[in-house]
Structures are given as C-alpha cells and as structure tokens.
Structure 1
Amino acid sequence: MLNMAGDIPAQKAGLRAMAKQRRAVARAANRDNGTRAGARIAANLLQAVSLPINAIVSGYHAMGDEADPLPALLALAAGGYSLCLPVTLKRGLPLSFRLWRPGDALEPGVWDIPVPPATAPEVEPDMLLVPLLAFDREGYRLGYGGGYYDRTLAALRGRGGEKGPVLAIGIAYAAQEVESVPREATDQWLDWIVTEQGAIRTDGRTDG
C-alpha cells in the first residue's frame, strides 16, 4: 500500500538516521567485520534464488557498514555468471553498468566509490544486488535519497525485447528490517531480500 500519511521525505530522513545506527550495530555484531555474514548471505542467495543461464549480475562495492556482496559475487563468477558494477554518471539519471571480473582493476568514481574504468564494456544486468539502509517484508527499501536505484529499476523493468524483467535483490543484515518503509509512487520494490539469516520473498514468505 502506498504510504500517503504525512511528509514522506521527512519520514524517510528520520528513518535514515535510525537505520544507519542499526546497520552499524549489526555489522559490529558480525565477527570478522562482516566477512562471515557475507558468506552466509552468499549461501542463502545461491540456495533460494534461481538464475537463468547466461544471466548478467550487477553487484556493488560495499562502503562503510553495508552488507558485503563480494562472497556472493565470487560464487556467481565461479558458477559461470557474468558480473558488472554500477556507475553513477550524472545526478537525476539511472545507473550505468560496466562489465567486471574478480581481480579486474577499479578506479574511483562518484563519491570515490570504486568502479570499472570507462574502457570496460557497458552491459544491461538481468539481476541487481542492491545495498540499502532498511527494508520491509513488502520488498521496499530505504536508500540514501538519490533515487538512483529507483530510476534504474524503473528503466530496466520497462525494457522490451528478449531480456525480460530484471530481478532486484536487496543485500542486508537481518537487523535492518523495519515494519514499514515510507514510500512514494516512484519507489521501486525488491523481489527478494537476502540476509545472513535467510532469503525473504517480498510476498512475506521466507526460505532458510
């Protein structure tokens, strides 16, 4: 249901402050700076989510207290899937994606987030691993306020041709779950949220 009560941007801003603290505590609670949590997230992802052959998977470079998708990306690469990383080109635009393989050199992008160089081929992913601050069981995420993933998912979900719909999977610690994320009409949903404790389908069913 669309949350229309009150000032949604203000509600999101208030929730972000709390969610950042909660995520920091969750990361600190996982030994080895989240490395073991990342391995459990990878195992839960591979067990729960089926990917088509030859799928291109977009990951992200974990910053700060974000749950680390690298173990999942390494496992997917070992399974023969192609990987890419998002690139922020300009404020107000969707993300772009450049092909990446484990071990490939990265360079500083916007906000010094490591990205593949401009010489790397651009691709369209079939599945996105998405960072977040908070999530709810309906599949809505609280991001950082730039709207990049919302615009990107809207564009990818509206594409035609043989690619078909993109699959969006939030990567998080279980403690990042909230009862309800304030949302607007432009906010895009996630198909799954995968945590160190299991994989959650956005219809509320859980596996793991």
Structure 2
Amino acid sequence: MDKSAARQAAFARRKAAHQAGAATAGYLSEVLAGYRGVPLSGYMAMRTEIDPTPAMEEAAAHGPVGVPVIMGKGQPLQFRLWEPDCEMIDGEFGARIPAKGDWMTPQIVIVPLVAFDRRGGRLGYGGGFYDRTLEKLRAVQPTMAIGFAYAEQEDDELPLEPTDQPLDLIVTEQGIVTP
C-alpha cells in the first residue's frame, strides 16, 4: 500500500473514532506525570485529531510546555511557550499557535499522527515537519517522541521510509503502547 492510500484509510478510521466521542487524555496525563518539569511540546488539535490539551494543562503547572510553529515548507518546527488560556492565533495550515511568547526546546514531543504501528512507526500528514524536527532535536539531546492517537489509528502495514523518525511511545485513549 502506498502512503496516499494508507493515509486515506487512516483518516477514515480516525474520523470514525473522533465522531464516537470517547477520546480522553487520561493515559497521556499518566505518562507525563512521570516527567514533571521536563520541557515538552504538545499540539493544538485540528479537525479529527485526538486532543492533548487536558494533559498539556496539567503539565504546564509543573514545567514549560510549548506548541509547534511551522516556520516554512521544508523547515523543522520551532516551539513557542504555551500556557492555558494564553492568546492564540492561526498559524500555517490553520494550526493554532500562541500569539506571542518565548521560544523553547522540548525534550518530550507529543506528536499527532494519521496512523501508527506497535513498532513505533508513524504515518504523518506528508510534510515531514515532525521527522525533520525530531531528527534535529535528537542530534543535540535525547528527545522522546510520544505519538498520541485513537486506538483505531493502529495499522500493521505502514509504508515507512528511512527518514521516518520512530516514536518512543504511543498513547491512545485505551492505553499505552511501548514499541
């Protein structure tokens, strides 16, 4: 299966899971509780993505939390400090970002995705933003990538490439998967 067909099938599964409305960030909060104070980045959920905001709000009480900012096509992401209820604006592709604030470097990156496998493989949107970003961050310091998804986004047959950065952990509304 090629990446386009895999994405299309995964988007359909994610949409169905999102519409079922059973999503919760409880397991994500549980994982992050073990890393209190470690700089992390979450993301602002778009369309049918599972929402990490409750876990990000809890983490922000203990340490810095950032949100990814798209700097341009082919560029790694940068991360702006985020706090609950801070002023947000629309960034590239409609992603919500803090209107202002300092830049930060996360040691944990919560990664949205289209599909995942139990080996830590991740199928993203195709722009390569997270792959470039994780490669850059990991070249400087250990950086944990936590995929956050609906359990229904799991797929045993992902069309992965050598440039795809692996996930260290996958968290769903149903539990935690350790590759």
- Give TM-score scaled by structure 1 length: 0.81
Residue 121 to residue 48, structure 1, CA distance change in 2 (3 Å) = closer
Residue identity matched to 2:17:
A
Alpha-carbon distance in 2 for matches of 1:198, 1:53: 20
Residue 102 to residue 94, structure 1, CA distance change in 2 (3 Å) = same
User: Per-residue deviation at 1:16?
Assistant: 0.6
Residue identity matched to 1:106:
M
Partner of 2:93: 111
Does residue 170 (structure 1) correspond to residue 147 (structure 2)? The answer is yes
Residue 53 to residue 72, structure 1, CA distance change in 2 (3 Å) = closer
The RMSD of aligned alpha carbons is: 1.5
Q: Deviations over 1:32-76 (max 9, x none)?
A: xxxxx22xx3x2123345644531110111000000101111121
Gaps in structure 2 of 5+ consecutive residues: none
Q: How do residues 70-149 of structure 1 correspond to structure 2 at under 5 angstroms?
A: 70-78=53-61, 80-117=62-99, 119-149=100-130
Check the 8 A contact 2:80/2:104 in 1, yes or no.
Answer: yes
Matched length: 179
Matched residue SS, 1:190: coil
Gaps in structure 1 of 5+ consecutive residues: 1-9, 32-36, 203-208
- Give TM-score scaled by structure 2 length: 0.94
Matched residue SS, 1:158: helix
Check the 8 A contact 1:135/1:180 in 2, yes or no.
Answer: no
Partner of 1:12: 3
2:18 to 23, 27, 45: 27
Alpha-carbon distance in 2 for matches of 1:123, 1:85: 9
Check the 8 A contact 2:45/2:51 in 1, yes or no.
Answer: yes
Alpha-carbon distance in 2 for matches of 1:176, 1:18: 9
Q: Deviations over 1:2-53 (max 9, x none)?
A: xxxxxxxx7111101111111000111225xxxxx22xx3x21233456445
